[in-house]
Amino acid sequence: MSEELEKFEEETRGEQLRKALLYKKKNGYDRLIAGETEAMEAYCTGYKQFLDAGKTERECVERAITLAELSGFRPYSRGMALQAGDKVYSSNRGKALMLAVIGRQGLDAGVNIGAAHIDSPRLDLKQNPLYESEELAFFKTHYYGGLRKYQWVTIPLELHGVVVLKSGQTVRVSVGDGAGDPLFTIDDLLPHLGAEQSKKPLGTAIPGENLNILVGSRPLRDDEGSDRVKLSVLELLNLKYGIVEEDFISAELCAVPAFKASDIGFDRSLIGAYGQDDRVCAYASLAALLQLQIPERTAVCILADKEEIGSEGVTGMKSGAFDGFMADLCAGQGVLPRACYEKSFCLSADVTAAYDPNFSDVYEKRNSAFVNYGVCLCKYTGARGKSGASDASAELVAQVRKVLDGSNVVWQDRKSVV
């Protein structure tokens, strides 16, 4: 054999081994085929509409129910007779939602579950929020979730939520997202007055107690008493919503950024919006379920509340709401819930950080997610030696790989952030 032929065969062998053995990621745009770009854009349009309509968990539930009912879902009640193909949902106090499409197989064969959360970091109003200081009116807030406080000053804010009167009547409040609505903001120091503030770390430069929302400065006319600006604000709230100051005690009101979901970049390849943690996964789980007709196994979608503060309370995942929903479904088929759970499969979906070359020192590049490389599989969470980790088994990860590859889904893996 000639030396040239031996060299050629050796190089060919190397190429074959690389193709067969090495794990090579590929940009998702390079994998698109005819028609998929249009489908992707249509999906993103629906997603942006979902974000704009759902600035709070309550609004997300309302939007999800609207979409679900348009797709044939109906409210579930205990004891309801169900058969394959039936589509039902159960709202947990209007702040969390569970949906199911009944499969051909019985619940003793298990169910497939997609779970995500619909609450996001925000500024909740305290129960006695309205006060006046130096003829300016403010709302006192308590931040909810792991927000970065310096990002919330000087930006336009909207006010969303409900006020429940002593009579039991619920008054919905939404200010800032309608045409002609006023907006709100939180003050910050002028640059030439902020020299000392600028010396502080980001985490302490804006204390939580300084996140007070400016809501008014015009005093009540023809009045010589105190708190004229506060009284003027209360008059406006009373005229529009019929509430008095005491009603704040039984209110759930929060401030969120006043931004519509927008395309980012000259090529419009990214989406910028408030609340994508975790509504990006919530919408994906919901949209997938809405497309189902009659699955082999019953499919369930969970849109949960309170994840940002530890999944606590009656609307978080630590409540018995989901177990109760599944127990009722199982009772309808004479199946023990534990027998169903033993054969069930669940994907817990949440956001992950994509590698940012501007902050490369906080990433491990080999085990990071990248923009345009698809949905991300995170095998384990936790920190400091996997403390508190949820660590998926190798068998489960292999099953997910098989399903994704079999459906030509663009995906990637990543290591949990330590």
Over range 388-409, report the average pLDDT. 90
CATH code assigned at 178: 2.30.250.10
Is the model's pLDDT at 38 over the cut of 50?
yes
Mean pLDDT of 146-172: 95
Mean pLDDT of 174-189: 95
pLDDT class for 418, splitting at 50, 70, 90? very low
SS3 108: helix
For range 257-265, the mean pLDDT: 96
Using a cut of 0.95, tell me whether the model's pTM lies above it. Answer: no
Mean pLDDT confidence for 374-403: 88
Binned at pLDDT 50, 70 and 90, residue 259 comes out as: very high
- 244: in domain: yes
Indicate the DSSP class of residue 334: T
Can you tell me the mean pLDDT for 80-107? 97
**Residue 143 scores a pLDDT above 60:** yes
CA angle 288, 293, 299 (to 5 degrees): 55
Q: CB count, 10 Å around CB of 19?
A: 9
Please report, for residues 363, 365, 366, 373, the alpha-carbon distance to residue 369 in angstroms, rounded to integers and kept in the order given: 10, 8, 9, 8
Structural domain that includes position 226: 122-262
What whole-number distance in Å separates Cα of residue 268 and Cα of residue 282?
A: 22
Residue 343: the pLDDT is 96
The predicted-structure confidence for 272-304, as pLDDT tens digits, reads as follows 999 999 899 999 999 999 999 999 999 999 999
Residue 155 has pLDDT above 90, yes or no: yes
| pLDDT value of position 413 | 79
Nearest to 185 by CA among 105, 258, 118, 286: 258
Question: What pLDDT shows up at residue 5?
Answer: 61
pLDDT band at 166 (very low <50, low <70, confident <90, very high): very high
The total number of structural domains in the chain stands at 1
Does residue 404 contact residue 288 with C-beta atoms inside 8 Å? no
Q: Is the pLDDT confidence value at 8 over 50?
A: yes
Residue 156 covered by a domain: yes
The Cα–Cα gap between 41 and 48 comes to 11
Going by pLDDT thresholds of 50, 70 and 90, the confidence category of residue 9 is low
Residue 12 has pLDDT above 90, yes or no: no
Crossing angle of helices 276-290/36-53, nearest 10°?
120
Look at residue 20 and tell me whether its pLDDT is greater than 50: yes
Say if 241 falls within a structural domain. Answer: yes
94-137 confidence digits (pLDDT tens): 999 999 999 999 999 999 999 999 999 999 999 999 999 999 99
Q: Which residues contact 139 (CB under 8 A, 6 or more apart)?
A: 125, 126, 129, 130, 184, 212, 213, 215, 255
Q: Is residue 209 part of a domain?
A: yes
Distance (Å, whole) CA 77 – CA 17: 58
Residue type at position 219: P
Q: What percent of the chain has pLDDT over 70?
A: 96
Contact 413, 377 (CB under 8 A): yes
- Residue 225 has what pLDDT? 83
Quick one: which of 409, 382, 412, 379 has its CA closest to 394? 379
pLDDT digits (tens, 9 = 90+) for 200-224: 999 999 999 999 999 999 999 888 8
Residue 185 lies in a domain: yes
What pLDDT score does 417 carry? 47
291 lies in a domain?
A: no
Residue with the bigger pLDDT between 252 and 378: it is 252
Mean pLDDT of 313-328: 95
Q: Is 327 part of a structural domain of the chain?
A: no
Section 35-51 average pLDDT? 95
* pLDDT score, position 15: 84
Is 302 inside a domain boundary? no
pLDDT at 23 over 90: no
Q: What angle do CA 266, 269, 270 make, to 5 degrees?
A: 105
Average pLDDT over residues 68-92: 96
End-to-end CA distance of the chain: 54
Task: Examine the pLDDT at 1 and tell me if it is beyond 70.
Answer: no
Residue 50 and residue 60: Cα distance in Å, rounded?
Answer: 7
